[in-house]
Amino acid sequence: MRFPAVSADSAVVSAPATAPKAKEVVRIDCQSGQVKRVGPWVVPERMEVKVTSGHVMLDFTQATITHGTLRIDLEVRSGHVRLRTRPGIVVDTDDVAIRSGHVNVRAPWGSDGPVLLRIEVAGRVGSGHFNAGPPRRNLWAWLTRKPKPYAITAG
């Protein structure tokens, strides 16, 4: 088989980059371990998260958002679920039943800006915890008074 000769002056044509495609459903079943989605990842349309006694971290700060809403069906028995958000991500936990755990959603930037992603959380939290909000500073950043991630500056 012979290949055609290519000169150094010929242009290389590459295939066009395709947009990342989100899955319809992502299921996470964490029994006593740890599951993390950090860095660049594609946000699906819906997630089913079941935590028995482990920890689940979903970091949306570098995630690729392809849909306007994300539905999370949540069942936490005695573990922890943490969502790291950024400005433009709104977390709605109105449909979460709490038994003896707690649900905490922080949005220090307010709701004045455009909404990139609306996360609708539904399900139940037994004796576990569900937290959503921006990443926190570590002890060294707090001691050296480094600015908070996504800090609101006076303009």
d(CA 95, CA 131): 15
DSSP assignments along 101-133, one per residue: SEEEE--TT-S-S--SEEEEEEEEESSSEEEEE
Contact call for residues 83 and 58 (beta carbons, < 8 A): yes
d(CA 103, CA 42): 25
| pTM of the entire predicted model | 0.78
Could you report the per-residue pLDDT of 5-44, keeping only the tens digit for each? 444 454 444 444 566 788 899 999 999 899 999 999 999 9
Query: How much of the chain exceeds pLDDT 90, in percent?
Result: 61
